[in-house]
Amino acid sequence: MERTHRLELFPERSVTLLLFQHVKNAAALRKKAMEGSIEGALINPAMIVDPFQILVAANRAVHLQKIGKMKTRTLYAEIIFSLSPSNNISDAFKKFGISDSDTAVLIVLVMDGDKNINLADITSQVEGQQVSLDELPQLTDTAKVKKMYKVTPQEEKIGSLLDSVVCRMSTKDVL
Amino acid sequence: ERGRARYSGGGRAVQPGGASALRNFPSRPPSAAEDGRRLPNTAEQAPRACAVCVAAMAAAQAEAGGARSVMAGAAAMGDAGPVGPATAELGAAGPAADGAECGAGDAVVAEEPPAPPALPGLRLVQQGAEAHVYRGLFLGRAAVAKLRVPKRYRHPALEERLSRRRMAQEARSLLRCRRAGIPAPVVYFVDYVTNSIYLEDIVDSITVQDHIYSVQKSGNDTSGLRKLAEKMGELLARMHDEDIVHGDLTTANLLLRPPLEKLDLVLIDFGLSFISGLPEDKGVDLYVLEKAFISTHPDTEVMFQALLKSYAATSKKSGPVIKKLDEVRLRGRKRSMIG
């Protein structure tokens, strides 16, 4: 159901994605995330085109954490920030984090080798139905994504939306 | 090793890089024995593993014993006496000189390669002067990892700055290309610590270079090459119109996606690219390509003409660029100064 991927460049770390639909307690979850009582990044699936997008963001966040150059305060906040094409942290949270009225939630966990995060722990807190990551494309709001990442029409001809998104994410602070 | 011999020629070994004490040789007047000395020296030290050490030995001997004992040691090969102290000096100075010299020598002969990334299915594709290129799976996708080779002869601060700038230029140009709809690999990850970049791998592609080779070898399909040239001209025109100068245009840096008949081109290797609106820079870019074309592919002048024609037709700013190209052609080497 959920999907786990090992980060090749950081062998002890692996990223797990869980997708939930028909979520009723988004507001409560968001509050918990803000307080830090949930060990995970709560993301709005409408802004996600493909799990690869999350992996790229997680890879970047873990890298920055390792070299001590995170812009935010926690790894999970950094993942959400890495998803955003802008350098404004609160804007990133607003657009990519969940809002109180959301009915779908994507939870991202980063496991550190020995530290074992209990998945059941997380899933029990969500009042919703866990679904397979294959459902993600249906939840994506492509128009919103295109607008958010400012994807040009010429760009769409040479690659997928995912390509455009990932390229912007990884070159965000290259200047 | 060839390089080492060159440096140690004539007795005055010039040691590039490294503040090794070995650099300061006592000045020895060049003597007839010197040239002869080189050979016996090598033969004498043959048992020693590293040819680098040959120079080290000469240097060490010079330092430790002064000219006299060196020449004595070399000339009197069979002599127990002079060889004794010489070898003793060798023994003492040898390992120390060895280490230092080999270290400095290594810096010249081969930079320490960066450790390959732990990607599944990792294969070393190319060991360029600038970077080692690997292919592997990154986050589940076919990717190319370019790890910069640190140049130890540079001052570390400059090395860091230059490395970072090159990488930033590459990433920036790639993003700019994509935004403008110019096919180039997607950037997956930029590592500012090792100054390495992870890009999309264009699977099953072949370089235009290989394509031209195979077409020319098989003998047919010359019209196909013309169309390819036209497409290339078009692509470069669009790139230059975005003020992106590639910097290293060769047929090996242009890929063709399968199926080949579609002439789906992709530009790669933007490591030397920069942003510029100057016709001079664009003209030079085309000149570099022209040179690469003509030197790697015989009988392709017509093809390049077609490329330029298509370039001029597609680009809105082509006039000054072509003019500059003609000017640049008149410069450079092997130009007769007649007229």
pLDDT at B202 over 80: yes
Higher pLDDT, A169 or B112: A169
Query: What pTM was computed for the model?
Result: 0.74
The chain A residues in contact with chain B (CB within 8 A) are 5, 7-9, 11, 52, 55-56, 59-60, 63, 67, 69, 152-155, 157-159, 163-164, 166-168, 170-171, 174-175
The domain that holds A89 is classified in CATH as 3.30.2380.10
Across the interface, whether the CB atoms of B140 and A55 are under 8 A apart is answered yes
H or E element: which one contains B141? strand B141-148
pLDDT tens column, B286-328: 999 999 999 999 888 999 999 999 999 999 899 999 999 999 9
Containing domain of residue A29, as a range? 3-171
pLDDT classification of B181: cutoffs 50, 70, 90: very high
pLDDT tens column, B1-56: 444 444 444 444 444 444 444 444 444 444 444 444 444 444 444 444 444 444 43
> Which of B190-222 are b and which e, b meaning 16 or more Cβ less than 10 Å from the residue's Cβ?
bbbeebbbbbbbbeebebbbebbeebbeeeeee
Number of domains comprising chain A: 1
Q: For a pLDDT cut of 90, what percent of chain B falls above it?
A: 42
Across the interface, whether the CB atoms of B178 and A174 are under 8 A apart is answered no
Residue A57's pLDDT is: 96
Residue B313's pLDDT is: 95
B123, two tokens: 């294969």
Q: For a pLDDT cut of 70, what percent of chain B falls above it?
A: 64
Across the interface, whether the CB atoms of A164 and B178 are under 8 A apart is answered yes
Give the lowest-confidence range in A124-128, A137-141, B73-77: B73-77
pLDDT tens column, A28-40: 999 888 888 888 8
pLDDT at B81 over 80: no
Residue A160's pLDDT is: 93
Looking at chain A, which residue has its C-alpha nearest residue B116?
A9
Mean pLDDT for the stretch of residues B267-288: 94
Provide CB contacts within 8 A for B79, sequence distance 6+.
B72
CA distance A2 to A130: 8
The dihedral over CA atoms of A16, A17, A20, A24, expressed in degrees to the nearest 10, equals: 70
Looking at chain A, which residue has its C-alpha nearest residue B179?
A155
Nearest-CA neighbor of A112 among A14, A2, A8? A14
Clarify whether B191 is annotated catalytic: no
B277, two tokens: 């609106």
pLDDT classification of A20: cutoffs 50, 70, 90: very high
Give me the domains of chain B, ranges plus CATH numbers: 122-200 (3.30.200.20), 206-335 (1.10.510.10)
CA distance B95 to A8: 41
Active-site option among B98, B201, B241, B248: B248
Residue B117's pLDDT is: 72
pLDDT classification of B279: cutoffs 50, 70, 90: very high
Across the interface, whether the CB atoms of A152 and B137 are under 8 A apart is answered no
Looking at chain A, which residue has its C-alpha nearest residue B136?
A8
Q: Count how many residues are written for chain B.
A: 339
pLDDT at A139 over 90: yes
Q: Side chain identity at A68, as an amino acid letter?
A: G
Across the interface, whether the CB atoms of B181 and A9 are under 8 A apart is answered no
pLDDT tens column, B281-297: 999 999 999 999 999 99
Question: Predicted ipTM?
Answer: 0.93
Q: Side chain identity at B112, as an amino acid letter?
A: E
CA distance B302 to B254: 19
Nearest-CA neighbor of A7 among A70, A64, A85? A64
Nearest-CA neighbor of B35 among B14, B58, B65, B63? B58
Nearest-CA distance B131 → chain A (Å): 18
